[in-house]
Structure 1
Amino acid sequence: MPQIAQLTADNWYLASQLFWLLVVFAGIYLVIGRGMLPKIEATVDARDRKVADDLAAAKAAHAAADGLEESYRQQSDASRVAAQKAVAEAKDKAAKDAEKRLAKVDAELGDKLAAAEADVAAARKSAMAEIESVAAEAAGDLVAKLSGVKVGAADAKAAVKAVLHG
């Protein structure tokens, strides 16, 4: 290869190639190192700042969401307490209403029971009076049939009363 032969045969070509190698590398350094690299670093720094700002915004949004969640929980708890209080008040009111109605019905039943007991007592008294008169007649008839003696109605009633009440 002629390129390799030139390097070993003559030092002038070697020095020329080394010079141009240094010139090319210096050009590449100047173009990339001084021109492109600062732009790339600026872009990377801007991206890092953007990422940091986005993370800070996300943390702030997370904190705001936590605050909203806590507020929601407090409102939910307050609503639950208010609902339980309303239910308890409704139960108490219903119980009081039921007690009032029960007392009213109980009083009505007590009145009806007293009236029924009075009716039963009157019927018993009437029945006892009838039984006494029937028993007095029957006793008078029995004494008349058995002994042939006629007993007066007043005496028969007195004897029946003595036996029944005595």
Structure 2
Amino acid sequence: MPQIGQLTGNNWYLISQIFWLVLVFGTIFFVIGRGMLPKVEATVDVRDRKIADDLAAAKAARDAADSIEADWQAKSNAARADAQGVIAKAKDKAAKDAEKRLAKANAEIEAKLAAAEAEISAARSSALAEVEAVAGEAAQELVARLTGAKVTAAAAAKAVKAQINV
């Protein structure tokens, strides 16, 4: 094999290949390692720093939103409690107003009832007096027809009253 023979027989050939190998890898090292890699690392560092800053800003925004929500929740609860207090006061006032109107209506009804009872009592007394008068006249006539005796109006009224009160 001639390729192996070239490696073993000619040291200059091996040395030239090693030289070119070192030269190519050195060039690659300096161009990529020293030129491009720092730029790539700087870009990655900038991106990592931007991500960290964005995460910190998002955390701060979330904390601010949580604080605003807690404040809103507290204000909402306070407003709800105030509204319930206003509702309770309105219910109490309405109940008191209803009680006053009911008391006024009851007083009016009681007054009308007392007046009606007085009218009924007066009408009853008047009717009873008329019944007594009619009964007294009827008793006078009955006694006069049955016995032929004359009874006075006062005696007939007294006898009817005695019978009605029994």
Fold-level match, TM-score > 0.5?
yes
The share of aligned pairs that are identical, in percent, is 65
RMSD: 1.7
Deviations 1:77-120 (A, max 9, x none): 01100110110111111111111111111111111111111101
Q: Match for residue 16 of structure 2?
A: 16
Q: Match for residue 96 of structure 1?
A: 96
Partner SS, residue 84 of structure 2 = helix
Q: Match for residue 69 of structure 1?
A: 69
Q: TM-score, normalised by structure 1?
A: 0.92
Q: Match for residue 42 of structure 2?
A: 42
Q: Residues 142 and 2 from structure 1, CA distance in 2 versus in 1: closer, same or farther, beyond 3 angstroms? A: farther
Q: Match for residue 119 of structure 2?
A: 119
Q: TM-score, normalised by structure 2?
A: 0.92
Partner SS, residue 128 of structure 2 = helix
Q: Match for residue 52 of structure 2?
A: 52
Q: Match for residue 163 of structure 2?
A: 163
Are 1:129 and 2:129 matched, yes or no? yes
Task: Measure, in 1, the Cα distance between the counterparts of 2:54 and 2:113.
Answer: 85
Task: Measure, in 1, the Cα distance between the counterparts of 2:132 and 2:94.
Answer: 55
Q: Match for residue 153 of structure 2?
A: 153
Task: Measure, in 2, the Cα distance between the counterparts of 1:113 and 1:154.
Answer: 36
Q: Give ranges in structure 2 of 5+ residues lacking alignment.
A: none
Task: Report how far residue 7 of structure 1 moved.
Answer: 4.0
Q: Give ranges in structure 1 of 5+ residues lacking alignment.
A: none
Task: Report how far residue 146 of structure 1 moved.
Answer: 2.1
Q: Match for residue 139 of structure 1?
A: 139
Task: Report how far residue 148 of structure 1 moved.
Answer: 2.3
